[in-house]
Chain A
């Protein structure tokens, strides 16, 4: 089958702004397209458009881009050439790429000098504060996954931490909403980086998944993050795809 999502034969639609962040394309009172904007915890606005026809996509994107303040962002699976082309027609350009990895699990090896285990809320909160500060001083939030910003109060269930001399020095966050767990974040204090702590945390997390009978996890890594790319590829992770983030900076 080779059906195109955006097809010829333009339907006559009416674009209506339903709320400040939601647009509908109406074809004879039926919603045939939607445009939505959300604000991420770091304050950046991300757009999405769902439409069955190229012309409707373009109209929705045009209406949203005219109404919202720059900069505006979106994310696209890089293999989805139709959608990518749609956003590029709208004037957005590729800003960065994330590789998607399939990460094989395996039994964990002991990490000399480190204690790795479950997190407690208080010290984890302090480590998160340190990690946030070092991100703001270096690459900035725009290069980081959204998960760094938000954690429900008291919920440490997704976190494993590395402890050195009684102090939390690194964390790994693994979510398992479905049968394919996702390694959402690995972070190590700046003054303890390049000591193998990230690798030890990752190996530990993969070991726990292996023990639970899970064979593969997923992760996304910023293409520009050479250290993280080397970390994942060094443990046998395989690239399975890529996601690109596009941005429009201004008129």
Chain B
């Protein structure tokens, strides 16, 4: 049986960090440390500063997230 997913929110990449991590700013100004999801990685999708992305926040730490999707525009 599938359970509930995490909180998903749109944000903007403001910085690419080392170790394949990114700082993503959410619409409320909160910034999270995010990494790319496996699906994004498997599809060779590059994430760059100013990209709009969909982030799933960690239920254990709201300062962390994973990038589920990068919008084209």
A: which residues have CB within 8 A of B? 1, 3, 5, 7, 11, 16, 18, 24, 26-27, 29-32, 34, 36, 38, 46-50, 52-53, 74-77, 79-83, 177-180, 182, 218, 220
Contacts and interface: CB of A to CB of B under 8 A. Distances in A.
A65 to B, nearest CB: 15
From DSSP, what is the main secondary structure of chain A's interface residues? strand
Q: Which residue among A5, A26, A34, A47 has the maximum number of chain B CB atoms within 10 Å of its CB?
A: A5
Given A3-B63, A5-B64, A178-B51, A30 B38 contact: no
Contacts of B58: 52
A31 B3 contact: yes
Q: Which 4 A-B pairs have the closest CB atoms?
A: A48-B38, A80-B20, A77-B20, A29-B3
A11 B63 CA distance: 18
Interface in B16-33: 18-20, 33
A48 B33 contact: no
Contacts of A53: 60
Contact of B35 (A5, A27, A74): A5
B48 A178 contact: yes
B6 A32 contact: yes
A75 B41 CA distance: 7
A46 B43 CA distance: 11
B51 to A, nearest CB: 7
A3 B2 contact: no
16 contacts: A3-B64, A7-B60, A18-B2, A26-B3, A30-B59, A31-B2, A31-B4, A34-B38, A50-B66, A52-B64, A75-B42, A77-B36, A79-B19, A177-B72, A178-B48, A182-B46
Contacts of A77: 20, 36, 41
A180 B48 contact: yes
Contact of B38 (A18, A36, A177): A36
A178 B46 CA distance: 9
B6 A31 contact: yes
